[in-house]
Amino acid sequence: MLHKAGKPMIVIRDVPAVKDLKNSPDCLAAADSLTDCDLSRSEALTPDLYASAAQRLGIPVIDVTDAFCDDTACRAIVGSTIVYRDYSHLSQEYSDAMAPLLGRAIDAAAAQLAQ
């Protein structure tokens, strides 16, 4: 409705899925290795219907997947920061770390809308 009303929109692609769709901190607590709770990139990147629809409508989509994943896997820990606080929500620490990246991406998408 907002798009049809001419309201500017930006869509942020959903974050990658966690291993077995389980609580990530529980997985890490039981893990033998810090990579035991990682998930392959192909499994972690589930379809995002909102992002797909936005792309079809020409609405800017921000994709921060590379902040979670390398070429092969999406990480439960990036650097020394636990990424998720449960099965799909980011930890406060990782949210704080991502804020500058997301801010720049929003600024770039807003500039695209202004053209």
Place of tokens 């291993």: 19
Band of residue 8 on the pLDDT scale cut at 50, 70, 90:
confident
- Residue of 86, 65, 61 whose CA lies nearest to 74: 65
Where are the domains positioned within the chain? 11-114
Backbone angles phi, psi at 68, to 5 degrees: -110, -30
- Over 60: is that where the pLDDT of 1 sits? no
Average pLDDT of the segment spanning 8-15? 93
How far is residue 40's CA from residue 20's CA, in Å, rounded to a whole number? 11
Band of residue 3 on the pLDDT scale cut at 50, 70, 90:
low
Band of residue 2 on the pLDDT scale cut at 50, 70, 90:
low
Average pLDDT of the segment spanning 62-86? 96
Find out whether 111 and 76 touch, Cβ atoms under 8 Å: no
pLDDT of residue 5: 67
C-alpha 52, offset from chain centre:
15
* pLDDT one-digit tens code per residue, 87-110: 889 999 999 999 999 999 999 999
Query: Encoding tokens for residue 102?
Result: 């997301």
Residue 115: what residue type? Q
How far is residue 44's CA from residue 108's CA, in Å, rounded to a whole number? 26
